[in-house]
Structure formats: structure tokens, C-alpha cells
């Protein structure tokens, strides 16, 4: 207990070092918080132009999947964390075995990194999730279809490396099958749902656990793309309560330390089932920077450093809009009409600092805060229809 207190105190303006695997926008926003607490940081990222490059105390360019690179990088720190799941787990396990604190734990990451393993874990733990089957390759899946062991439609997911909608495909017929690649995969039942929801849960090593209010992911009616993240979700209080309970159960089942973003479906029958999770700050929690008592990045830091967790309630209604590259533009980015959206009430843009735009690349996000949520939603639509991420 005494050593606990000494350790805690040593984070602030001290020689304590936090290593962060990944230097993208999530890492960049996490760095604001390490600066606020004056915690020294090391960042590893393969890109020499990573958004996290300049605000870290020490930046290392290197491959996040390479054992030696990750091990040697982590070895310099007191605590290691990550902002992306695609990192070398063996290196994290070795660091942990040698006494370096790694949060979220490599054991949890192993259960999450492979979507087949993740689904098996939910089954074992009685956590509601869509029915599924694992396949070692595309051939095995085809055989099942031929043998009528399964039928169209279903949701195909690559077990590894899916990100931002990549590695996920709705398969409605034999033709759709041609769009999918030959990798280990799962096939999931399609669940008719009313809403896609998300709950961010935070847990520290002491087992203190808190959940943020439920957010709603509102999709574009035609394109299958999240357009708005809305907090709080416009759903019944009972459903919201159930969603937070299920999400908390997932965090506790993992014995997770840090943030866990739990994506959920609200079914036609108002059941809540788990879609998938991310063991880190998450796009669905960006609204917390302006909207919440404690933003998700500070919260992650509090959790992995075993500090008391912060309040998760909202200060005001919030809507988040992603800024993604327009189709048809690749090159040096230009934020057309950004000055117009700055004139709208409660509009705060976050520009991630990527020089080059590409179609659908996440270049930033915009938060709209307002005590009246429906007003925030209206302004969000105006933002969405005004700013364009194009090239000069």
C-alpha cells in the first residue's frame, strides 16, 4: 500500500515513463493527457509522419508487429500501453514476464485480436452475441454452404486485422462470396437490429469499474457508414441500463484494465447483444473530450496507472461527426469551408494532422455540443453538409 502511494505519486513530473504502441490520432489525443499530467512518454509508430510524433518525449520509428522492435521499445518504459490492436503480443508477454506493467494485458489482447477467439470467449462467458461459426479458410466456409450447414445471408468477418469496416462483408448470395478473401474467418447470423449502440467501460487494476452513457451510432440511410455518434443515445432508459450492464459484464469477464469500447446491437425485441470490442480509446468516445466530466483519454490513463477513475457523466449533449476524405481526392489535404463550420454554435473540429487525404481516410472529427441534443444533431447535419475533405 505504501509502495502503491509512492508509485502513484511518481507519475507526475518524474522519471516515470509510459510507452505507447502506435502514434495515430488516438495516440495523439492520449498525449494531450500525458502532457496535462506531465507524464513522460515514448511512442512507437511505423510512420515518420505519425500524428503523435511531436508531443511525445521520445519518438521511435518502427514496426509494431516486429517482436524485437516492440520488445526493445517497451523495455525502456515503466508501463506499456497501445492505441491499436495490431501489435506484437509475444513481445508484450515477454515484457510482462520481465516485470514491466502492460495494460491492457497481452492476455486480454490475445482474446480480442482474433475475432474467432473473441466470439468463443463470449460464448464461454454467457455474454449475448450473434450466432457464428469459425472457419480456417474460405474453402471450409464454401463446403458448409454446399452441404447446407449454413445459408445466405450472413456476415463474414476476417478473424484478424479488421479495422474501420475493412475485413467485414455482408454476404447475401454466391456472387458476394467472390468479394471475400481467403483468410481465417467467422460467419455470423445477420441480426435484425433497431440501433447500433456503444458503451465505453473503464476498469482499473483495483477492479474499480465505471461505464459512460450509451451512445448511438446513426448510419447514413444509403451508404453503410456511421455518420453521427450521439450521446446520450435516444433510447429507453431500460434499454440503456441493460446496455451498460452487458458492457460492464464484458469488461469484468476480461478482467480488463483500461478502456473497453463495447459495440452493441439493440435488436427488434430490445435485446442487447455484443458485436465486438476495442481495448483502447475509441471513435465512439471522441465526444467525451467536450461532452464528459472526464474525457476517454484521461480516463484510460487513470485506469492503466491505477489512479482513481473519473466521473463518466455528461456535461452536455454531444454529437460527433467523422471527417473522412472525399471520394475522388488523393493528395495534400484541404479542409474546404472549415471556417464556415467554426461559426456554428458549439462546433469544435479536431484535425488529426495527416498531410495526405485519401477516399474515406479518417482525417479528423468534429464535436458539436449543445444542452439541447436535437439542436446538436441539426448542427451536426449542417457540419456534415458543409465541410469537405479534399485536396488543394
Residues that bind a second copy (CB under 8 A): 5, 8-9, 12-13, 28, 31-32, 35-38, 54-57, 290, 293-294, 298, 302, 307-308, 310-311, 315-316, 333-336, 338-339, 342-343, 345-355, 369, 371
Nearer to a second copy, 45 or 290 (CB): 290
Q: CA-to-CA distance for 337 and 346, rounded, in angstroms?
A: 16
Q: CA-to-CA distance for 245 and 256, rounded, in angstroms?
A: 15
Are the CB atoms for 121 and 96 separated by under 8 Å? no
CB of 30 to a second copy, least distance (A): 12
CB of 222 to a second copy, least distance (A): 29
Handedness of CA 379, 341, 371, 208 (dihedral sign): positive
Q: CA-to-CA distance for 79 and 101, rounded, in angstroms?
A: 5
Are the CB atoms for 67 and 74 separated by under 8 Å? no
Select from 155, 175, 301, 290 the least CA-distant residue to 224: 155
Q: What is the DSSP letter of 335?
A: E
Nearer to a second copy, 85 or 306 (CB): 306
Q: How far is CA 356 from CA 30, 51, 360, 361, in A?
A: 22, 12, 12, 9
Q: Is 157 flagged in the annotation as binding? A: yes
Nearer to a second copy, 8 or 170 (CB): 8
CB of 109 to a second copy, least distance (A): 26
CB of 93 to a second copy, least distance (A): 29
Q: Is 65 flagged in the annotation as binding? A: no
C-alpha cell at 262: 463495447
Are the CB atoms for 99 and 34 separated by under 8 Å? no
Nearer to a second copy, 54 or 131 (CB): 54
Q: Is 275 flagged in the annotation as binding? A: yes
CB of 339 to a second copy, least distance (A): 5
Nearer to a second copy, 166 or 355 (CB): 355
CB of 231 to a second copy, least distance (A): 13
Nearest 5°: CA angle at 109, between 107 and 111? 75
User: 481495448: which residue's cell?
Assistant: 279
Nearer to a second copy, 68 or 311 (CB): 311
Select from 365, 364, 368, 362 the least CA-distant residue to 382: 368
Nearer to a second copy, 223 or 343 (CB): 343
CB of 265 to a second copy, least distance (A): 31
Q: CA-to-CA distance for 248 and 99, rounded, in angstroms?
A: 28
Q: Is 188 flagged in the annotation as binding? A: yes
Q: Is 206 flagged in the annotation as binding? A: no
Q: What is the DSSP string of 305-334?
A: TTPPPPP--BSSEEEEEEEEPPTT--EEEE
CB of 313 to a second copy, least distance (A): 9
Nearer to a second copy, 215 or 277 (CB): 215
Q: Is 115 flagged in the annotation as binding? A: yes
Select from 261, 246, 258 the least CA-distant residue to 204: 258
Are the CB atoms for 201 and 263 separated by under 8 Å? no
Q: Is 218 flagged in the annotation as binding? A: no
Per the annotation, where are the binding residues for ATP?
A: 115, 157, 188-191, 196, 275-276
Amino acid at each position: 500500500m505504501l509502495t502503491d502511494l509512492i508509485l502513484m505519486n511518481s507519475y507526475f513530473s518524474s522519471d516515470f515513463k509510459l510507452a505507447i504502441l502506435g502514434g495515430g490520432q488516438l495516440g495523439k489525443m492520449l498525449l494531450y493527457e500525458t502532457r496535462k499530467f506531465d507524464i513522460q512518454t515514448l511512442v512507437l509508430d511505423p510512420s515518420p509522419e505519425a500524428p503523435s510524433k511531436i508531443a511525445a518525449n521520445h519518438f521511435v520509428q518502427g514496426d509494431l508487429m516486429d517482436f524485437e522492435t516492440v520488445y526493445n521499445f517497451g523495455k525502456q518504459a515503466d508501463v506499456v500501453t497501445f492505441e491499436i490492436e495490431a501489435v506484437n503480443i509475444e513481445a508484450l508477454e515477454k515484457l510482462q514476464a520481465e516485470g514491466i506493467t502492460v495494460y491492457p494485458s497481452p492476455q486480454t489482447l490475445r482474446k480480442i485480436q482474433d475475432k474467432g477467439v473473441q466470439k468463443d470467449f463470449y460464448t464461454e462467458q454467457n455474454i449475448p452475441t450473434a450466432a457464428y461459426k469459425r472457419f480456417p479458410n474460405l474453402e471450409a466456409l464454401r463446403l458448409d454452404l454446399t452441404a447446407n450447414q449454413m445459408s445466405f445471408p450472413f456476415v463474414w468477418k476476417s478473424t484478424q486485422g479488421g479495422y474501420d469496416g475493412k475485413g467485414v462483408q455482408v454476404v447475401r448470395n454466391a456472387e458476394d462470396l467472390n468479394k471475400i478473401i481467403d483468410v481465417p474467418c467467422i460467419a455470423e447470423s445477420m441480426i435484425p437490429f433497431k440501433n447500433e449502440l456503444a458503451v465505453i467501460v473503464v476498469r482499473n487494476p483495483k477492479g474499480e469499474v465505471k461505464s459512460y452513457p450509451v451512445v448511438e451510432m446513426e448510419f447514413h440511410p444509403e451508404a453503410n457508414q456511421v455518420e453521427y455518434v450521439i450521446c446520450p443515445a435516444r433510447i429507453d432508459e431500460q434499454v440503456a441500463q441493460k446496455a451498460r450492464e452487458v458492457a460492464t459484464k464484458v469488461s469484468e469477464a476480461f478482467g480488463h484494465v483500461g478502456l473497453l469500447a463495447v459495440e452493441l446491437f439493440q435488436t427488434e425485441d430490445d435485446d442487447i447483444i455484443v458485436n465486438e470490442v476495442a481495448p483502447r480509446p475509441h471513435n465512439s468516445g471522441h465526444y467525451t473530450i467536450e461532452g464528459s466530466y472526464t474525457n476517454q483519454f484521461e480516463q484510460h490513463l487513470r485506469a492503466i496507472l491505477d489512479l482513481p477513475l473519473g466521473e463518466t457523466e455528461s456535461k452536455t449533449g454531444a454529437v460527433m461527426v467523422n471527417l473522412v476524405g472525399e471520394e475522388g481526392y488523393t493528395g495534400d489535404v484541404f479542409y474546404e469551408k472549415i471556417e464556415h463550420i467554426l461559426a456554428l454554435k458549439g462546433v469544435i473540429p479536431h484535425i488529426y494532422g495527416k498531410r495526405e487525404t485519401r477516399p474515406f481516410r479518417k482525417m479528423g472529427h468534429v464535436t458539436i455540443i449543445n444542452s439541447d441534443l436535437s439542436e446538436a444533431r441539426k448542427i451536426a447535419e449542417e457540419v456534415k453538409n458543409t465541410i469537405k475533405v479534399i485536396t488543394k
